Amino acid sequence: MKIVNSMNLENIANIGEALGGLAIMATLLFGLRQVLEVNRNRRYEISQTIAASLENPLVQRGFATFGMAVTKDSTLEDLMSLSREQKDATNAVIVLMANHAVMTYHRNLSFDIVYSFWKGYLSLIGPSMRRMMELTEFGYGMHEASSVTMEEGMGTFHWVYWLLDRLEEHEKIEEIKPHLNQKDWKP
């Protein structure tokens, strides 16, 4: 009888151990699901924040200014003749892109999300934005009262250059002309 009871106790212990392992596994799976859900929600929130920042009327005026009034051949005189509103608008675009660049570099923003939002604007704003930053940095560097040096330049601009370079060298064919390349996409 003692042998039977000890075998029953051993079986019960084995069953308890197996159930404990299953409970641990279920807890891990639930935790993993929670992490995936948090990450999905975070990507959604980030996307909404980027979309809202690009919808800002001042930023939209900046895009229009880079597309129409500032060109890759603009001179310092051309930039000085911009209205105060146009200067503020182009500055808003530069600051926004610099912020997105820093957050992307530190992996607070997904490069894929940033790429999807900004890539469509690059042909419109890229060359003129580069020209404006180059001339502005040069102007500040030459101004005696400015603390901007030719060696250090304007740090904000350098983040924009960094992001522009990354966006221009990256290409996702499926995101170029999505109305043609993604016509078979289904929700």
Q: With contact defined as beta carbons under 8 Å apart, do 175 and 115 qualify? A: yes
Higher local confidence (pLDDT), 121 or 22: 121
- SS3 of the chain: the string is CHHHHHHHHHHHHHHHHHHHHHHHHHHHHHHHHHHHHHHHHHHHHHHHHHHHHHHCHHHHHHHHHHHHCCCCCCCHHHHHCCCHHHHHHHHHHHHHHHHHHHHHHCCCCCHHHHHHHHHHHHHHHHHHHHHHHHHHHHHHHHCCCCCCCCCCCCHHHHHHHHHHHHHHHCCCHHHCCHHHHCCCCCC
pTM metric for this prediction: 0.74
- Alpha-carbon torsion 18, 20, 24, 26, what sign? positive
User: Percent of the chain at pLDDT above 90?
Assistant: 42
More reliable by pLDDT, 16 or 166: 166
Res 144 pLDDT > 80: no
The pLDDT value given to residue 3 = 55
Tokens standing for residue 38: 């948090």
The pLDDT tens digits of the residues spanning 54-103 come to 999 999 999 999 999 999 999 999 999 999 999 999 999 999 999 999 99
pLDDT bin (cut points 50, 70, 90) of residue 147 is: low
